[in-house]
């Protein structure tokens, strides 16, 4: 493995605000995505709102990209961020699948 | 009290724990106010109760009241879960008084003696001077003895009675919780080694074992308050344990960026920190999902009433899921990567995160447990909120959120001025402190602290009076 | 009844939780075995042999310490006794510490131990940050030894009327409220002259710890634009 310096560049003074805001929005948008998905599945929201949920996941991905590039992350961290984003995409599907399974087995 | 509906000694003991926890919670807020005032008026109580003393009591009281409330919660749920009276309840009561006495002595020494000479007697008898673990060595040993007794009770009861999934998780978690404390008891002249072990206690408590603890309490709450299906809840609990420990244990890497430890901790810390919010999101969704499912099932039977049997407690449980996500999740995530943490480490950002995370993840659910105890003690079937519970909840939650936002603004000024521009020197530090946004942030923090404190007083009044209100279903 | 699925089986999740927790814990323990030897304090012979340790021997108090950019690592590192050709510590240039540059390993260790005990006994960490951890009511002490304010042209050294950095720092620690630098003052903590000496040794030693470049750009930027 080639040893790569993790922190080479200073963060530009005007970039701090964008980094903090986009990093916060990562979880806010991510929460919206998961929330909308769950709400549609339990019938609190209409079915057509689902694409909106996936739209929020895309925004999450964009915020991660923005945050990562302004922080000058190295390759390893960039990969970790992509894994986290995909994990978030799959998370509610897995949760719902399992919840549904258990309810089916126990209530019918 | 006259109307005591508690049938088990374990639950009675739990109410003792909750009562002392609430008193110490008050002390925490009071000394927090002293420290917050000193930011605004530096001469306040100077060389009487200095910032270092006020803050030491503020954060130690925080830990102590939470540990008391956690032990109380376990004593509360043990009879429900195991179906039997807690084994060794006499020992539990004795240790309660030992613990209370020790805490009172420690706090009095903090207040009256404050500092000692630079030798081991200070470490043994006055304070250890290590943030959060200031308790002197004799008290450390006392805490270990008390906790060992508590764990004996938990294990003996869990093995004799019905060992549910929740009890199994608690038994494993409490053992880890106690064992980890030992890592913080030594002395070394090497500050890097010192902080390495110190983080074992602090991090593995609040980002691993405590999180699993609240997961168990939340599981218990969902079963008792909305009648959630035990199998579903317990399966979830195991998944949460896997996610929390899977991300949380190695998430400790984000504390090893700058204390002298090797650079590989950057990668480990960044990777596992990125994963740490996932279980928090999952826990939040799980609570809402179960609630929606139960309410839906109820309404399908044509009943319009709520499935919630304790409104104020359930409100605090939902706030826990939300506050944990916000405080530990959002406020933790935005300064967790080493590239940014290089500039934010040791600024008011950390303090903002600390306030919202401790409150959101732990204070909320433990206050919820107080309400569950009030309900049980008064033999109430369905407990409704009072005006006071609503005021208390809004003022405390709003107050802490307000403090967090104010501290975040102050931290932002520090990052820009003291760190990015001035390179963290003495002069840079005070330049940052002089920033108008910083100063106003500190003013607003104090104001919001007062709001929180008033909310706390209303909370106590409510806890003492809500049991007698007439609008509950008995 | 639907077919039992492994995904909805409590025993499966219980085992998974056990394995994942066990694996993470083992990994942490393994990493601890790798990290602890790397952060153990070096010895004086390391310094004599030019071996750079992350936490060097207490005898670094005999040497000049600076904080320089290491281009290979991409951040600043402490440089002890002047830089060699690669820009890392050469352990050549000495510096008097309370009038001596021949503190033996035992003497230096004793002084450092006194200082570390003092830092705990006086509860430094509940106002200051050490290695960035602690309270945020007063400046970070990680590299305070290298702070230009304590240097020969610095305001703090001038204020105490002392000729050297270490004497100025010790004087301040003994009588902090005599030297108010800010409305937020350091209280008098009953620090004795011996304890102050130990504390300054502790601070000088801390500045020689390799903190992976924290704090960034320490003392490098002068006269920056006043922020928001």
Q: What does the pLDDT look like over B422-462, one tens digit per residue?
A: 888 999 999 999 999 999 999 999 999 999 999 999 999 99
Among the residue ranges B291-300, C139-148, C153-162, the one predicted with the least confidence is B291-300
Q: What pLDDT is attached to residue B293?
A: 77
Q: What pLDDT is attached to residue C4?
A: 62
pLDDT, mean of residues B78-100: 95
Q: What pLDDT is attached to residue B200?
A: 95
In terms of Cα–Cα distance, which of B149, C10, B20, B99 is closest to B157? B149
pLDDT, mean of residues B208-218: 95
Token pair recorded at residue A31? 């929460």
pLDDT, mean of residues C180-188: 90
Contact B435 C228 (CB under 8 A): yes
Q: What does the pLDDT look like over B311-341, one tens digit per residue?
A: 999 999 999 999 999 999 999 998 999 999 9
**Residue in the block written with tokens 């420290």:** B35
User: What angle do helix axes B165-181 and C10-39 make, rounded to 10 degrees?
Assistant: 10
Q: What does the pLDDT look like over B49-73, one tens digit per residue?
A: 999 999 999 999 999 999 999 999 9
Rg, Å, chain A Cα set: 18
* DSSP code for B205: I
**Which residue, of B95, B130, B163, is where some domain finishes?**
B163
In terms of Cα–Cα distance, which of B213, B207, B210, B208 is closest to B166? B213
pLDDT, mean of residues C8-25: 91
Residue B26: pLDDT band (50, 70, 90) is very high
CATH architecture of C44-207: Orthogonal Bundle (1.10)
pLDDT, mean of residues A17-22: 93
The answer to whether B82 and B167 have CB atoms below 8 angstroms apart is: yes
**Residue in the block written with tokens 């089986």:** C9
Q: What pLDDT is attached to residue B2?
A: 44
**Mean pLDDT estimate for chain B:** 93
All residues of chain C having their beta carbon less than 8 Å from the beta carbon of residue A97 are 7
Confidence check: pLDDT of C1 > 60: no
In chain A, whose CA is at the least distance from the CA of C216?
A: A10
What distance in Å separates residue B240's CA from the closest CA in chain C?
Answer: 8
Contact B118 C115 (CB under 8 A): yes
Contact B285 A92 (CB under 8 A): yes
Would you call C10 an interface residue with chain B, using a CB distance cutoff of 8 Å? Answer: yes
Strand partners for C94? C63
What distance in Å separates residue B61's CA from the closest CA in chain A?
Answer: 30
- Cα gap C69→B421, rounded to integer Å: 17
Residues of chain A that touch chain B, judged by Cβ-Cβ distance less than 8 Å: 6-7, 10-11, 13, 16-17, 19-20, 23-24, 26-28, 30-31, 34-35, 38-39, 42-44, 71-73, 76-77, 80-81, 83-84, 87-88, 91-92, 95, 98-99, 102-103, 106-107
Among the residue ranges A20-34, A71-85, B192-206, the one predicted with the least confidence is A71-85
Contact C21 B165 (CB under 8 A): no
Contact C214 B51 (CB under 8 A): no
- Cα gap B260→C131, rounded to integer Å: 8
Confidence check: pLDDT of B368 > 80: yes
Nearest to C136 among B122, B168, B346 (CB): B346
Q: What pLDDT is attached to residue B390?
A: 96
Q: What pLDDT is attached to residue C3?
A: 52
In chain B, how many H helices and how many E strands? Answer: 19, 0
Token pair recorded at residue A30? 């991510």
Contact C8 A102 (CB under 8 A): yes
CB hemisphere CA count around B176 (13 angstroms): 25
Residue C116: pLDDT band (50, 70, 90) is very high
- Cα gap B334→B326, rounded to integer Å: 11
Token pair recorded at residue B125? 């008898």
All residues of chain B having their beta carbon less than 8 Å from the beta carbon of residue C209 are 191-192, 260
Contact A103 B338 (CB under 8 A): no
Q: Could you tell me how many CB contacts below 8 A there are between chain A and chain C?
A: 27
Nearest to C190 among B115, B126, B241 (CB): B115
Q: What pLDDT is attached to residue B1?
A: 43
Q: Could you tell me how many CB contacts below 8 A there are between chain B and chain C?
A: 278
- Cα gap B273→B294, rounded to integer Å: 33
In terms of Cα–Cα distance, which of B194, B212, B72 is closest to B133? B194
Instruction: Show Cβ contacts of residue B301 under 8 Å, excluding neighbours closer than 6 positions.
Output: none
Q: What pLDDT is attached to residue C92?
A: 94
pLDDT, mean of residues C166-190: 93
Confidence check: pLDDT of B227 > 50: yes
Q: What pLDDT is attached to residue B50?
A: 95
Confidence check: pLDDT of C133 > 90: yes
- The runs of H, that is alpha helices, within chain A are 15-41, 50-70, 75-107
Token pair recorded at residue B132? 């959060």
Chains in touch with A (3+ beta-carbon pairs under 8 Å) read B, C
- Cα gap B325→B327, rounded to integer Å: 6
Contact C109 B419 (CB under 8 A): no
pLDDT, mean of residues C40-56: 95
Instruction: Output B180-188 pairs: Cβ under 8 A, ≥24 positions apart.
Output: B180/B204, B180/B205, B180/B209, B181/B140, B181/B143, B181/B144, B181/B147, B182/B144, B184/B130, B184/B133, B184/B140, B185/B137, B185/B140, B187/B120, B187/B123, B187/B128, B187/C117, B187/C120, B188/C116
Q: What pLDDT is attached to residue C227?
A: 37
Q: What does the pLDDT look like over B116-138, one tens digit per residue?
A: 999 999 999 999 999 999 999 99
The answer to whether B106 and B135 have CB atoms below 8 angstroms apart is: yes
- Cα gap C84→B171, rounded to integer Å: 56
Q: Does residue B83 belong to any structural domain of this protein?
A: yes
What distance in Å separates residue B51's CA from the closest CA in chain C?
Answer: 7
The answer to whether A5 and C73 have CB atoms below 8 angstroms apart is: yes
pLDDT, mean of residues C128-132: 96
Would you call B406 an interface residue with chain C, using a CB distance cutoff of 8 Å? Answer: no
Residue B231: pLDDT band (50, 70, 90) is confident
**Complex ipTM tops 0.85:** yes
Q: Is the dihedral of CA B258, B264, B270, B273 positive or negative?
A: negative
Contact B231 C10 (CB under 8 A): yes
Strand partners for C76? C69
All residues of chain C having their beta carbon less than 8 Å from the beta carbon of residue B131 are 125-126, 133-135
- Cα gap C147→C63, rounded to integer Å: 16
pLDDT, mean of residues C51-78: 94
Confidence check: pLDDT of A3 > 50: no
Would you call B422 an interface residue with chain A, using a CB distance cutoff of 8 Å? Answer: no
- Cα gap B65→B100, rounded to integer Å: 11
Residue C54: pLDDT band (50, 70, 90) is very high
Q: Does residue B78 belong to any structural domain of this protein?
A: yes
Q: What pLDDT is attached to residue B3?
A: 54
Contact A43 B296 (CB under 8 A): yes
**Which residue, of B141, B163, B185, is where some domain finishes?**
B163
Q: What pLDDT is attached to residue A7?
A: 61
Would you call C57 an interface residue with chain B, using a CB distance cutoff of 8 Å? Answer: no
Contact B47 C187 (CB under 8 A): yes
**Which residue, of B163, B188, B220, is where some domain finishes?**
B163
The answer to whether C60 and C43 have CB atoms below 8 angstroms apart is: no
Q: What does the pLDDT look like over C71-103, one tens digit per residue?
A: 888 899 999 999 999 889 999 999 999 999 999
Interface of C with B in 144-203 (CB under 8 A): 144, 147-150, 156, 177, 181-185, 187-190, 192, 195, 198-199, 202
Query: What's the structural domain count of chain B?
Result: 2
The string of DSSP codes covering C52-101 is --SS--GGGGGB-EEEEEETTTTEEEEEESSB-TTSSB----B--BTTBS
Q: Does residue B254 belong to any structural domain of this protein?
A: no
Residue C221: pLDDT band (50, 70, 90) is low
- Considering the entire predicted model, what is its pTM? 0.94
Q: What pLDDT is attached to residue B318?
A: 92
Would you call A104 an interface residue with chain C, using a CB distance cutoff of 8 Å? Answer: yes
Q: What pLDDT is attached to residue A67?
A: 92
Q: CA-CA distances (angstroms) from residue C192 to B53, C125, C178, C195?
A: 20, 19, 15, 5
Q: What percentage of chain C carries pLDDT values higher than 90?
A: 78
Q: Does residue B302 belong to any structural domain of this protein?
A: no
Domain boundaries of chain A, sorted by first residue: 24-107
Q: What pLDDT is attached to residue B282?
A: 81
Nearest to B285 among A16, A38, A71 (CB): A38
């Amino acid at each position: 493995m080639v040893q790569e310096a993790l922190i080479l560049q200073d963060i530009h003074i005007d970039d701090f605000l964008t980094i903090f805001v986009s990093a916060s929005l990562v979880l806010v948008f991510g929460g919206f995505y998961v929330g909308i998905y769950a709400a549609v599945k339990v019938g609190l929201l209409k079915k057509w709102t689902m694409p909106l949920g996936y739209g929020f996941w895309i925004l999450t991905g964009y915020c991660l990209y923005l945050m990562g590039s302004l922080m000058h992350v190295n390759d390893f961290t960039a990969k970790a961020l992509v894994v986290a984003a995909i994990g978030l995409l799959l998370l509610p599907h897995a949760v719902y699948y399992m919840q549904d399974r258990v309810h089916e087995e126990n209530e019918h | 009290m006259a109307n005591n509906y508690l049938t088990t000694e374990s639950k009675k003991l739990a109410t003792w724990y909750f009562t002392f926890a609430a008193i110490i919670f008050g002390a925490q807020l009071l000394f927090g106010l002293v420290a917050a005032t000193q930011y605004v008026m530096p001469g306040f109580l100077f060389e009487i109760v200095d910032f270092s003393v006020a803050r030491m009591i503020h954060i130690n009281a925080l830990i102590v009241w939470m540990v008391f409330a956690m032990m109380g919660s376990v004593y509360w749920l043990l009879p429900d879960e195991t179906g039997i009276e807690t084994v060794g309840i006499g020992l539990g009561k004795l240790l309660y008084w030992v613990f209370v006495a020790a805490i009172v002595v420690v706090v009095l020494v903090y207040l009256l003696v404050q500092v000692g000479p630079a030798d081991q007697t200070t470490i043994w008898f006055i304070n250890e001077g290590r943030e959060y673990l200031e308790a002197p060595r004799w008290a450390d040993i006392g805490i270990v003895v008390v906790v060992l007794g508590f764990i004996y009770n938990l294990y003996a009861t869990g093995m004799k009675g019905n060992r549910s999934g929740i009890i199994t998780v608690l038994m494993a978690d409490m053992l880890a919780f106690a064992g980890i404390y030992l890592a913080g008891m030594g002395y070394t002249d090497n500050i890097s080694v010192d902080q390495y072990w110190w983080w074992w206690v602090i991090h593995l408590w609040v980002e691993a074992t405590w999180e699993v603890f609240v997961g168990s309490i939340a599981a218990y709450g969902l079963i008792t308050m909305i009648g959630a299906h035990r199998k579903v809840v317990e399966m979830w609990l195991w998944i949460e344990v896997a996610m929390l420990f899977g991300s949380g244990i190695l998430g400790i890497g984000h504390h090893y960026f700058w204390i002298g430890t090797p650079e590989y901790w950057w990668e480990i810390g960044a990777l596992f920190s990125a994963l740490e919010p996932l279980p928090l999101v999952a826990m939040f969704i799980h609570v809402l999902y179960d609630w929606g499912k139960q309410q839906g099932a109820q309404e399908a039977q044509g009943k319009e009433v709520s499935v919630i049997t304790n409104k104020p407690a359930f409100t605090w449980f939902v706030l826990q899921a939300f506050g944990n996500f916000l405080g530990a999740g959002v406020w933790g995530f935005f300064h967790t990567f080493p590239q940014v943490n290089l500039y934010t480490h040791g600024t008011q950002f950390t303090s903002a995160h600390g306030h919202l995370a401790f409150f959101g993840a732990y204070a909320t659910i433990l206050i919820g447990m107080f309400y569950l105890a009030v309900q049980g003690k008064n033999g109430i079937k369905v407990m409704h909120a009072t005006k006071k519970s609503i005021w208390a909840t809004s003022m405390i939650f709003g107050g802490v959120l307000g403090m967090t936002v104010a501290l975040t603004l102050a931290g932002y000024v520090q990052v820009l001025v003291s760190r990015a521009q001035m390179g963290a020197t003495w002069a840079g530090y005070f330049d940052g402190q002089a920033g108008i946004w910083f100063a106003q942030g500190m003013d607003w923090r104090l104001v919001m602290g007062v709001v929180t404190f008033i909310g706390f007083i209303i909370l106590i009044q409510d806890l003492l009076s809500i049991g007698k209100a007439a609008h509950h279903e008995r | 009844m639907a077919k039992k699925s492994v995904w909805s089986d409590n025993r499966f999740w219980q085992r998974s939780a056990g394995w994942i927790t066990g694996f993470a814990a083992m990994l942490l323990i393994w990493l601890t075995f790798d990290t602890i030897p790397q952060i153990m304090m070096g010895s004086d012979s390391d310094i004599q042999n030019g071996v750079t340790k992350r936490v060097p021997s207490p005898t670094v108090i005999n040497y000049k310490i600076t904080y320089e950019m290491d281009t290979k690592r991409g951040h600043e590192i402490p440089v002890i006794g002047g830089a060699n050709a690669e820009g890392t510590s050469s352990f050549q240039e000495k510096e008097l510490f309370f009038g001596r540059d021949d503190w033996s390993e035992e003497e230096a260790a004793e002084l450092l131990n006194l200082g570390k005990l003092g830092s705990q006994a006086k509860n430094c960490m509940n106002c200051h940050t050490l290695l960035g951890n602690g309270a945020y009511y007063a400046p970070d002490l990680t590299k305070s030894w290298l702070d230009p304010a304590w240097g020969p042209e610095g305001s703090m050294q001038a204020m105490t009327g002392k000729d050297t950095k270490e004497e100025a720092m010790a004087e301040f620690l003994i009588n902090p409220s005599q030297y108010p630098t800010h409305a937020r003052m350091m209280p008098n903590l009953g620090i004795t002259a011996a304890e102050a000496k130990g504390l300054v040794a502790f601070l000088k030693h801390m500045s020689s710890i390799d903190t992976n470049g924290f704090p960034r750009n320490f003392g490098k930027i002068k006269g920056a634009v006043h922020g928001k």
